[in-house]
Amino acid sequence: MRASSWVVVGLVLVGCRAGDAEVVVLLAGRASKFRPIADGKGLGLDVRLDERLPMRVVGDALRLRQVLVNLADNALKFTERGGITMMAWCPEPSAPRRVRIEVADKGMGL
């Protein structure tokens, strides 16, 4: 990844800055912020982290946090019962620096 690149997210161009993103810390931190909201709605909030996850990956931590917050916020808004799961794992054992992050919920879809 170049020091500065552009990524298309939906219809919005987002500037990305290469750096270290701490995936485990980011997910755990966001989960602790959203847990009281989930508890207040009677929803479960599950965080699943692959044991092979590296502590740091190259990426734009600010943008990653923004995307994760938006996904989790929408999941909390539109899920009335059940729960929300935030997951991170290495999809390819041969590429340990590649991480997949997913927010799954039982709310109505997009």
pLDDT score, position 25: 85
Paired residues of 103 in beta bridges: 86
DSSP conformational letter for 59: S
User: What is 20-105's CATH number?
Assistant: 3.30.565.10
- Structure pTM? 0.74
Pairing of strands 83-89, 100-105: antiparallel
Helix (H) or strand (E) holding 67: helix 61-78
**How much is the pLDDT for 97?**
67
Q: Are 101 and 90 in contact (CB under 8 A)?
A: no
Q: Is the pLDDT of residue 4 over 60?
A: no
Give the model confidence (pLDDT) of 39-82 as tens digits. Answer: 999 999 999 988 888 777 777 888 888 888 888 998 999 898 89
Query: What residues does 44 pair with on adjacent strands?
Result: 83
First to last CA, the chain: 30
* The pLDDT value given to residue 19: 67
